[in-house]
Amino acid sequence: MTGRGMGRGTTRLVVEIRRKAFGDHLVLRDLDFIVEAGETLAVLGPSGSGKSTLLRIVAGLDRDFEGRIGAPAEIAMVFQEPTLLPWRTALQNLTLTTGVDAGRAASMLAEVGLAGREERFPRQLSLGQQRRLALARAMVTRPRLLLLDEPFVSLDAPLVEEMLHLTERLIAEVRPASLFVTHAPAEARRLATRTLRLDQPHALE
């Protein structure tokens, strides 16, 4: 049985996954945790351990599991790739996808270091700037639940450091409950309050 509850007014994430399988392949089992507002839980584990599946379940994109998810209604997600609208400007990538007004969008772009680039299209931005734009889009609505799916993958070390600093600052300002999927223990140590290793058994630290 699948359940999803809470919604508006809720500030914590509650995950109770009894079983998730693809056919005969068991992916997740007996996984329970809570992430409070202001906390960041980093999810580590090898490829195929169920990290992305967990994120999809929490986001409400996969409802075929046994258990229950309690999550705020105000959810934002940052993907491995920026997933921007290529035919829209940086400003429009915020206003059209989130509904915020141009003033608020411009203020958030300035906060992530993109002031003066409001009218540029994604193809006119560097990869690092595209990642900043994707983070701005996620945070401009001040979500109560933030999902991060390896947002620093394929960036070189200096850009990873810049993005870690920026993400750390925005999370401290907005204080959502955050679920952060990563392959990098150093990134987990930097951003996370706790870590969850998806292997057998699942281990919270």
- pLDDT tens digits, one per residue of 54-64: 999 999 999 99
User: Per-residue confidence at 3, pLDDT binned at 50, 70, 90?
Assistant: low
- Residue 1 is predicted with a pLDDT of 46
Q: Residue ranges per domain, the chain?
A: 1-74+143-205, 87-141
As a whole-number percent, the residues of the chain with pLDDT over 70 amount to 93
Cα 163 to Cα 166: distance, rounded to the nearest angstrom = 5
**Which tokens hold the place of 122?**
């994604």
The residues, any chain, with a CB within 8 Å of residue 70's CB and separated by 6 or more, are 4, 5, 6, 10, 12, 13, 14, 15
Provide the whole-model pTM.
0.90
| In contact, 114 and 91? CB cutoff 8 Å | no
Mean pLDDT along residues 9-13: 86
| In contact, 42 and 188? CB cutoff 8 Å | yes
| In contact, 89 and 158? CB cutoff 8 Å | no
Mean pLDDT along residues 1-13: 69
- DSSP letter (8 states) at residue 8: T
Pairing mode, if any, of strands 66-71 and 13-22?
antiparallel
- Residue 7 is predicted with a pLDDT of 63
- Residue 12 is predicted with a pLDDT of 95
CATH topology of domain 1-74+143-205: Rossmann fold (3.40.50)
Cα 149 to Cα 53: distance, rounded to the nearest angstrom = 11
User: Per-residue confidence at 204, pLDDT binned at 50, 70, 90?
Assistant: low
Task: Identify the sign of the CA torsion 54, 55, 56, 59.
Answer: positive
Q: In this predicted model, what pLDDT tens digit does every residue of 99-111 receive, in sequence order?
A: 999 999 999 999 9
Per DSSP, the three-state class of 78 is strand
